[in-house]
Chain A
């Protein structure tokens, strides 16, 4: 079943140049139909070499590449290239051809009928979100971003289902780049194109890819989904490529509640008196106590305001405590919890285990620390699991 979807597969592919070092070695990559594969690495990592082997612009020295079930070597290079879209950094539009001639360059090589080419040109200029009148213009009369839009849609002119892109947006300003990223993502998601995309921009890769191949000095370092790479960077090189900030953000996304909760919430049992509750609040500097029964099962909370209102009439915690509206399990993701706290105005969220035992508490103060780390960095980055929160956190919840 897997092999039916498989469209390109590198098998122990290596390329070395005469007298020089290996450009790439031991490349084993499988690309499935409809995937958006980003090859990422520093310059000289072999990512472009790897990509260019797919349309036989570069021939492997060793190993083989299986393309649509057959050895790539059995394909005629020129005819093969006409079936694979190709987009390069500086758009590669022919300056002496009109936009229309540029778009229909491959169809012309394939000797399509003129009216079929005209239709295709109109269809693609629409896809590029440019007016039809642009078809008669020359590339020099378009802005850089518009030129690259044409460069991208040109790669589809002969209904190619695979598109190779070599750092296509490297020379564009950030806003234009965003637009074009939307365009290529659309090609992959809506039109089902398989895209192999070389970049050195990790943001771009994380944004677009369904599958990232990280390369360094001619070797594949890690080959996985963006999520998995963020959560389990293969080695220090990958970590460095990702950067501290992204790792922290990713960590925030995947941290569970138990990672950041305070394990020592201010609490009181049902049977205790309000006087004891006030003493506990005063001692811990909080305005709210979590209420449990004698077996540490979470029952609810009691806050200073309520005690103040009703102190004259009641004397026991069990008389005036309120049930919790919201609590989380230890295994919940922090991102869900933090949203509730930050957006819905909860001051804190009690944390329970599967048996409703009170385990800890997440407060606004705990979140501040996470955000602080994301913005200013964290010293003990090497061990992100070991985040320790100051003891005061549980007490600070009243500040919120």
Chain B
């Protein structure tokens, strides 16, 4: 292992950074698009059904195929990888945001409106805080998916830890495969853990003191 680190140490850091960079970019884009879209969809139930099934369909495209499909449009490199992963991240975030918002107690929304909140005030002061745990679990799920799938992005020249894995496959070098896989796993677990802490922070308290 030490010899592996000696040999590939600097490369490992660069590839890990690429991996983080690609995944984070895709996830942040996904959040920026899917959360507001999910909230918007709760106001348009009919449209919501179509949008949900379309994004569900996108999810079923094999990830490798989706990456390959990006090449004619965006060429090779990081951009098509980010776009493809972004598409993947959409559904869990979109669906959880939509469900989370829908599951907010109708009584509370009625009370918010009846007390004189505007729609925006009701969304920001009541509905989003109340649905935060569900929205966050969608984001965490997407993040873990995207981090592990972004290894495939190396196939279309986006770099990342996938490079180790594919090189290992081509050269039949298991230490390269393992050396690529372990950091990906660690990255996914770490991201999930950090998001878990973040989730606790943004989830509003409903009791005075929590353990």
Spell out A's residues near B (CB within 8 Å). 55, 57, 78-83, 86, 88-90, 92-97, 105-106, 109, 136-141, 154, 164
Contact with A along B113-145 (1 / 0, CB 8 A): 111111001000110011000000000000000
Minimal Cβ-Cβ distance residue in B for A101 = B125
* CB < 8 Å neighbour of B107 from A82, A89, A109, A141: A89
A96–B206 contact, CB under 8 A? yes
* A92 neighbours in B (Cβ, 8 Å): 107-108, 110-111, 114
Bound form: Cα–Cα A140–B206 in Å: 7
A136–B107 contact, CB under 8 A? no
Bound form: Cα–Cα A283–B75 in Å: 122
A109–B114 contact, CB under 8 A? no
Known: A90-B107, A140-B206. A96 touches B129 (CB 8 A): yes
Give A143 Cβ to nearest chain B Cβ, in Å: 15
* A79 neighbours in B (Cβ, 8 Å): 116
Contact with A along B70-112 (1 / 0, CB 8 A): 0000000000000000000000000000000000010110111
B115–A106 contact, CB under 8 A? yes
Bound form: Cα–Cα A82–B117 in Å: 8
B111–A88 contact, CB under 8 A? yes
A-B contact count (CB 8 A): 66
A86–B115 contact, CB under 8 A? yes
Give A63 Cβ to nearest chain B Cβ, in Å: 22
Q: Please count how many residues in chain B sit with their CB below 8 Å of the partner chain's CB atoms.
A: 22
Give A124 Cβ to nearest chain B Cβ, in Å: 14
A81–B115 contact, CB under 8 A? yes
Centre residue among B107, B111, B121, B207 by max chain A CB count within 10 A: B111
* CB < 8 Å neighbour of A140 from B108, B114, B125, B207: B207
Beyond the given A88-B111, A94-B111, A94-B126, could you list 20 further A-B residue pairs with CB under 8 A, ordered by the A residue number?
A: A55-B114, A57-B113, A78-B116, A79-B116, A81-B114, A81-B115, A81-B116, A86-B114, A86-B115, A90-B107, A92-B110, A94-B108, A94-B112, A95-B108, A96-B206, A105-B115, A106-B116, A136-B208, A138-B205, A138-B206
Known: A95-B130, A137-B208. A78 touches B110 (CB 8 A): no
In the assembled complex, 24 residue pairs joining A and B whose CB atoms fall closer than 8 Å, in A order, are A57-B114, A78-B117, A82-B116, A86-B111, A86-B114, A88-B110, A88-B111, A90-B105, A92-B111, A92-B114, A93-B111, A94-B108, A95-B108, A95-B130, A96-B129, A96-B130, A96-B206, A106-B115, A109-B115, A109-B121, A136-B208, A138-B205, A138-B207, A140-B207
Give A82 Cβ to nearest chain B Cβ, in Å: 3
* A96 neighbours in B (Cβ, 8 Å): 129-130, 204-206
Minimal Cβ-Cβ distance residue in B for A93 = B111
* B110 neighbours in A (Cβ, 8 Å): 57, 88, 92
Bound form: Cα–Cα A97–B129 in Å: 10
Bound form: Cα–Cα A106–B115 in Å: 6
Give A371 Cβ to nearest chain B Cβ, in Å: 44
Bound form: Cα–Cα A79–B116 in Å: 6
B206–A81 contact, CB under 8 A? no
A88–B114 contact, CB under 8 A? yes
Give A168 Cβ to nearest chain B Cβ, in Å: 12
Known: A94-B108, A96-B129, A96-B130. A109 touches B206 (CB 8 A): no
Minimal Cβ-Cβ distance residue in A for B119 = A78
* A136 neighbours in B (Cβ, 8 Å): 208
